Amino acid sequence: MALLGLAPVAGAEDAAPFHFIDRDLMRISGELVGLSEKSVQYRDGTGRTRTLERSKLLAAYSRRHHGPAVPTSLAVADTTGEIPGVLRLTDGQLVPGFLMTAEAAGGDAIRWRSRRVGAFTVTLESVAALALHDGPREVVESASDVVVLTNADRLEGFVESIGPELAMEVGGQKSRLAIDRVAWVQLAAKPTVAAAQLVYLSDGAILAARSIASSGSGLTVTWALAGDDSSGVLELGAVDAIVFEPAALRSLAACEVLKQEPLQGRRWAPPIGVQAIDDAPIGLAAITLDGPMGCEWRLPAQAKRLRATIALPESARVWGNTTVTAAAAPRGGGFGAAQVFELSAEKPEAELSLDCTGMERVRIEVLGRGYDRVQARAVLLEPAILIGP
């Protein structure tokens, strides 16, 4: 699964529909027109402006997608000691910008400069990955730090510092590499949850904001990475999405898969297909199940509800004919009564809303009907889990 898909920045787009998720994971659609500390304004399908209480919303997002682009030195003053790249932090922030190698940041930290945030320092324990050359980089399954060089050589070990040189211990041997030889760094850091709201921008950046509100024709934003309380200004059209409470929203695709198995006498079933997280609206990646099969996931602690659109894949909508079931189970207990959905060419979609309070696992089965088991396929679109006390 790609961690960073580096793509050209798209230009400004016409106003796109936004989808507003409330605390029951219900969705309302409309055009985002403004927001304040207490409310969000949108224009509905009739052209009427309506207001939602911000405290009752978890997120507002469009389905536009912009991959993060490595900035070029031609776009800014060509500063010695700065290397363009894309920085990913453990809390989900994604920051196109420049590694500042001329300024000392200390052995356990790096200096980074973003056009929106300015210069800032982050510790290595807050860094998930760093791409210093254009092109996609793949997540490597490793318990160690991983460094890929520009000649495609790969090293695994412990990264001690990143600056003009990258210091690393590999197999008990310490080495230092000139930073211009490094294309990709993946650190073995545990994911964390952003403490502030996350703003998804049209240049591919994902930035935590301490505050964001309408100001004139745009938005005034105080970025969490900024070293002071200085604010920046955004055009409303530059915002692809805002997750107001990152700790309360989780994607099913990010949960641990406990079991996958063929059903109805099938000897083998392909693994579930998961959309790249970075290509999905606010990370709610689609999951495809090629049945007959069943799949179980471990739910996050304090999961309250799972909601998703269950649909026949586009390629199966002419002949698709399948039954989908969904059920949850507590720790050490069996699965309760399942919700059942019948999908066909006449009814290719259904809405799943499953109470997960006190539950540890969720199981979804995709079953064939009669002779038509070959058409037993389904996709979970934007599967979201509500987390709460």
Residues 24 and 136 both lie in one domain: no
CATH number of the structural domain spanning residue 333? 2.60.120.1060
Q: What would the pLDDT profile of 172-223 be if each residue is shown by its tens digit?
A: 999 999 998 999 999 998 889 998 999 999 888 999 999 998 887 789 999 9
Question: In angstroms, rounded to a whole number, what is the distance separating the alpha carbons of residues 80 and 60?
Answer: 40
Measured torsion, CA atoms of residues 190, 191, 193, 199, in degrees rounded to the nearest 10? 140
Residues 285 and 323 both lie in one domain: yes
- pLDDT on residue 80: 61
* C-beta of residue 55 within 8 angstroms of C-beta of residue 38: yes
* C-beta of residue 26 within 8 angstroms of C-beta of residue 35: no
Which domain does 314 fall in, by range?
A: 250-387
Select from 239, 202, 243 the least CA-distant residue to 20: 243
End-of-domain residue from the set 227, 244, 261? 244
Residues 182 and 276 both lie in one domain: no
Residues 112 and 178 both lie in one domain: yes
Question: In angstroms, rounded to a whole number, what is the distance separating the alpha carbons of residues 166 and 173?
Answer: 14
Counting the structural domains of the chain, the total is 3
Residues 28 and 81 both lie in one domain: no
Residues 254 and 379 both lie in one domain: yes
2 in a domain, yes or no? no
- pLDDT on residue 351: 97
Supply the DSSP string of 209-235, one letter for each residue.
EEEEEEETTEEEEEETTSSSS--EEEE
Q: What is the DSSP letter of 256?
A: P
4 in a domain, yes or no? no
Residues 109 and 155 both lie in one domain: yes
- pLDDT on residue 370: 63
Decide: helix, strand or coil at residue 142: coil
Spans of the chain below 70 pLDDT: 1-16, 72-80, 104-105, 134-138, 229-230, 370-374
220 in a domain, yes or no? yes
58 in a domain, yes or no? yes
8 in a domain, yes or no? no
Question: In angstroms, rounded to a whole number, what is the distance separating the alpha carbons of residues 104 and 68?
Answer: 26
68 in a domain, yes or no? no
End-of-domain residue from the set 244, 271, 286? 244
Decide: helix, strand or coil at residue 198: strand
Q: What would the pLDDT profile of 229-278 be if each residue is shown by its tens digit?
A: 667 888 888 999 999 999 999 999 999 999 999 999 889 999 999 998 88
Distances (CA, A) of 253 to 107, 247, 273, 306: 35, 16, 10, 12
5 in a domain, yes or no? no
Single-letter residue type at 136:
P
255 in a domain, yes or no? yes
Residues 77 and 54 both lie in one domain: no
Supply the DSSP string of 3-60, one letter for each residue.
EE---PPP-------EEEEETT--EEEEEEEEE-SSEEEEE-TTS-EEEEEGGGEEEE
Residues 265 and 382 both lie in one domain: yes
Q: Cβ atoms within 10 A of the Cβ of 301, count?
A: 7
Residues 222 and 335 both lie in one domain: no
Residues 96 and 125 both lie in one domain: yes
Residues 51 and 200 both lie in one domain: yes
